[in-house]
Amino acid sequence: MIYGVKVKQLKAIPDERGRLMEVLRSDEPFFEGFGQVYVTTCLPGFAKAWHYHRIQSDFFTCVKGRMRLVLFDSREGSPTRNEIQEFVISMDENPVLVKIPPGVYHGFECASAEEAVVVNIPDRSYNRPPFSHEKPDEYRLPFDAIEIPYKWKANKGG
């Protein structure tokens, strides 16, 4: 496990109307703070990668389809520097919430025949000072960056 990454097992509770799944609660040790909640999707054949944050932690889960989440630890001084970690997350097969700490590159691809729907609950708002929409706490590499020793199954990225 990459240093600082945490995984919380989630559970979908079904009834005759559908399912309910608690993702993150403010009264549990996993919770660090609230910035925003957003939903993003990824289509089959695509990867959304790579980026990291200097200050923000991300909390990712997949609520529809399947997502392959990949982490790369490039942090100086980290005991897991240069390690890759991969998760395949889905509400049906592997419902987990993954905490991605600052400084860890991450990206994901759709790992199902249908669109993957991903929820992220970062602990900071996207444009929280000293950052802005024009200059966010987000540092990017292309999805096929040679600096990261990982080959996506998807053939398109961004």
- Could you state, in order of their start, the residue ranges of all structural domains in the chain? 6-126
- Contacts for 132 with CB less than 8 Å, ≥ 6 apart: none
Question: Would you state the pLDDT for residue 130?
Answer: 82
DSSP-assigned beta bridge partners for residue 67: 89, 110
Which of the listed CATH numbers 3.40.630.30, 2.60.120.10, 3.90.1170.50, 2.60.120.200 matches domain 6-126?
2.60.120.10
Terminal alpha carbon distance of the chain: 26
What 8-state DSSP symbol labels residue 153?
S
pLDDT at 121 over 80: yes
Mean pLDDT of 25-33: 90
Question: Cβ(46)–Cβ(109) under 8 Å?
Answer: yes
Q: Which of 43-52, 118-127, 145-154 has the lowest mean pLDDT?
A: 118-127
DSSP-assigned beta bridge partners for residue 100: 58
DSSP-assigned beta bridge partners for residue 92: none
